Amino acid sequence: MAVTATVPSLPARRAPEVRELLAAGELLHELSHGLGGPYHMLLPGPFDANAAAFRQAFAEAGVDGRVYYAKKANKAALYSERAAVLGLGVDVASLGELRESLAAGVPGPDLVVTGPAKADVLLRVAVLQGALVAVDALDELERVTGAAAELGRIARVLLRRLPPAQPHSRFGLDDEELAAALRRCADGPVELEGFSFHLSGYDLAARADLAGELVRLCRHARTLGLRADRISIGGGFPVDYAHGDDWRRFTEAQRPEHYHAGKTFSGGFYPYHSPVAGADALRAILAAVPAGESEPLAALLRGVGVTVLVEPGRALLDQAGCTVFRIQGVKERDGYAILTVDGSSLSLSEQWFESEFLPDPVLVPRAPSPHGSYEACVGAATCLESDMLTWRRVPFPHRPAVGDLLVYLNTAGYQMDSNESPFHELPLPPKVVVEPASPDSFARPRWRLDRHS
Ligand SMILES: *Cc1c(COP(=O)(O)O)cnc(C)c1O
């Protein structure tokens, strides 16, 4: 292992709460020992703060807005429970997500059901619970109105717009389908509450432009006697994982030789730094003038009395969790080490999208060790050559040793559990809710297991 770094580092941005946790290394080691394997830590504080920031952005813009947590970003019960307590809605796309949200205490009318070609049983429960359904296709509109008729209820729907700028998207209704859907909505038993979209990518102007179009659609639908008083602009609010300077230095310096086995990634990398992220991205969208309009989106919305729904997943989970592995093997190679940890890349999903989760994991040594610079990549405790958590040679400030912990920061949004399986009969890492020490209660952080079944 080299003593001076020949590879660039990418430190992860960390909220004060996360910094405190890392400083309390003893707790992390205790949990690793007690749980006997890797685990995920969930932090309610940052989730609450992110939700408050989104609400603040709506308030500042004078726009009536509602925040729905996109549940697919993490399976834990904690975040749905926080959503229930805070009065947020939840965006669900399966019967399981719907059931978990209701069990966490989120009222049915605060759910929005998204996803393509939803199962009949999901539509039926959605109608019975008074949930809002984002309709993705004409036949689905038939099925949801059919369910409502049979149940003697009125289905609450949004019509999902196929993004004109993403014509190959498999989601949403095109112009012709929208026109047919509007005619169908006039016949009941269905209430057209408005329109929706969810864009892939992180382009803010594209979101403002399409929101402008949805406002025009609301105006048109009202001329047909339909309610149309809300639009959902989906999720995709970027997360700022690393400081701008660090990200710039890293991207300029990194080369294929810095990755174990010269690994390259056809999937490219997430933009780990975003100058405008989270609630600030919502601010920017509301302040933008949509194509074909002469006023900012916020003013357009106020003018016609349209409510905005947002469905952030990743952005609500910013800083709200991390993942802890224990090093169980260290092998020296050509100037760097291959670490083997007690879990697999199934608990760090980015590898499964031909990409890598780039922010440096943090080394929490078991015992004090001399400072230096030691490069290492990180492999899994499985028999697959390709199962690496980090192909990149990360420069660590201490020599990694068996028994040390590696903490991947900011993994709550999609990284932790979207791909987990008990491969090799390795148990799934448990989720531990950690609340920081507070001067008026306990001197140490407290923990409990998450309630996800
Ligand atoms: C996935 C998804 C979201 C959440 O996206 P993020 O990038 O996590 O904010 C919101 N709405 C819909 C319809 C989705 O499919």
Look up residue 329 and give its DSSP letter: E
278 lines ligand 1 (CB under 6 A): no
Q: Which of 268, 244, 227 is nearest to 356 (CA)?
A: 268
Residue with tokens 């660090």: 246
Report how far apart, in Å, the C-alpha atoms of 412 and of each of 25, 112, 239, 320 are: 20, 21, 12, 6
243 lines ligand 1 (CB under 6 A): no
- Please, is 393 exposed, middle or buried when counting C-beta atoms within 10 Å of its C-beta (0-12, 13-18, 19+)? buried
Structure tokens at 212: 């402008």
136 lines ligand 1 (CB under 6 A): no
pLDDT at 438: 75
Residue with tokens 């310096």: 253
89 lines ligand 1 (CB under 6 A): no
Which amino acid belongs to residue 434? Answer: V
Please state, in angstroms and rounded to a whole number, the distance separating the CA atoms of residues 397 and 141. Answer: 57
Counting ligand 1 atoms within 8 A of each CB, the residue from 72, 88, 92, 135 with the most, and so the one to mutate, is: 72
Output phi, psi for 362, to 5 deg: -100, 130
Question: Degrees (nearest 5) of the Cα angle 427, 428, 430?
Answer: 110
pLDDT at 1: 47
Structure tokens at 253: 């310096």
Read out DSSP for 261-306? GG---TT-------SS-HHHHHHHHHHS--TT-SS-HHHHHHHHT-
Please state, in angstroms and rounded to a whole number, the distance separating the CA atoms of residues 89 and 84. Answer: 7
pLDDT at 369: 84
70 lines ligand 1 (CB under 6 A): yes
Contact 321, 416 (CB under 8 A): yes
68 lines ligand 1 (CB under 6 A): no
Which amino acid belongs to residue 199? Answer: L
Report how far apart, in Å, the C-alpha atoms of 368 and of each of 39, 363, 427 are: 23, 12, 30
Residue with tokens 């709550």: 412
Output phi, psi for 265, to 5 deg: -125, 115
Q: Which of 42, 70, 15, 126 is nearest to 314 (CA)?
A: 70
pLDDT means per 10 residues, the chain with 453 residues, are 74 95 92 98 98 98 98 98 98 98 98 97 98 98 98 98 93 97 96 97 96 98 98 98 98 95 93 98 98 98 98 98 98 94 96 94 92 95 96 96 98 96 94 84 86 85
Contact 389, 423 (CB under 8 A): no
pLDDT at 4: 60
Which amino acid belongs to residue 342? Answer: D
| Model confidence, pTM | 0.97
Cβ-proximal residues to 232 (8 Å cutoff; 6+ apart), any chain: 68, 112, 134, 158, 194, 195, 196, 197, 198, 308, 309, 310, 311
pLDDT at 2: 44
Look up residue 65 and give its DSSP letter: E
Residues of 31-48 as b/e, b for ≥16 C-beta within 10 angstroms?
bbeebebbbbbbbbbbbb
Instruction: Using the atom order of ligand 1, give the atom closest to the CA of residue 413.
Output: 8
3-state secondary structure 361-425: CEEECCCCCCEEEEEEEEECCCCCCCCEEEEEEEEEEECCCCCCEEEEECCCCCCCCCCCCCHHH
How many angstroms separate the alpha carbon of residue 198 from the centre of ligand 1?
Answer: 7
Counting ligand 1 atoms within 8 A of each CB, the residue from 311, 314, 317, 416 with the most, and so the one to mutate, is: 311
